[in-house]
Amino acid sequence: MKHTITALLCAAGIAAAADNMKAFPPAEEGMVRHVLSLPPQADEAALKVELSLGKMVMTDSVNHYFFGGKIEVETIEGWGFDRYILKQLGPMAGTLMAPPPGAPKVERFITLGGDRDLVRYNSRLPLVVYVPKGVAVRYRIWHADREAKPVPEG
């Protein structure tokens, strides 16, 4: 009986996820759709998802590099779900420190410049990101401290 209930709950979860994906259109020509399904957590309000969009690139090991570009948030009409879109990966830029003579190149994941893109953690909906072909999507989960600390007056 216990296994039957578990199987039904899993099937219902898969069906709900498939229904939710109806809201997200397929990727347009030259784009790729990435879908992240997050596991349920006890306190999802204390979590954020950091999206890191970029590419593996051969660079020197001393400079800091980044790509131009901006993740746009679009709410899907009629559904109210958000989707995240990077329309174009801009040029790569970086600092101009001179590497040591003869220093070997290293392969690094270079991401968009600017502030981190933190989005709400929500296990009930897929997190859907559209990027140009050749751009990778990575993520990290951020956790808030359980206790809010007071700020001293001054």
Give the chain's radius of gyration (CA, Å): 20
Helix (H) or strand (E) holding 17: helix 2-21
- Asked if the structure places residue 154 within a domain, the reply is no
Query: CA-CA distance, 21 to 125, in Å (whole number)?
Result: 9
pLDDT of amino acid 6: 44
- Asked if the structure places residue 103 within a domain, the reply is yes
Encode pLDDT of 85-135 as tens digits: 999 999 999 999 999 999 999 999 999 999 988 999 999 999 999 999 999
- Asked if the structure places residue 149 within a domain, the reply is no
Query: CA-CA distance, 61 to 108, in Å (whole number)?
Result: 9
* CATH code, domain carrying 122: 2.60.40.550
Domain count, the chain: 1
- Asked if the structure places residue 153 within a domain, the reply is no
Query: CA-CA distance, 85 to 58, in Å (whole number)?
Result: 25
- Asked if the structure places residue 148 within a domain, the reply is no
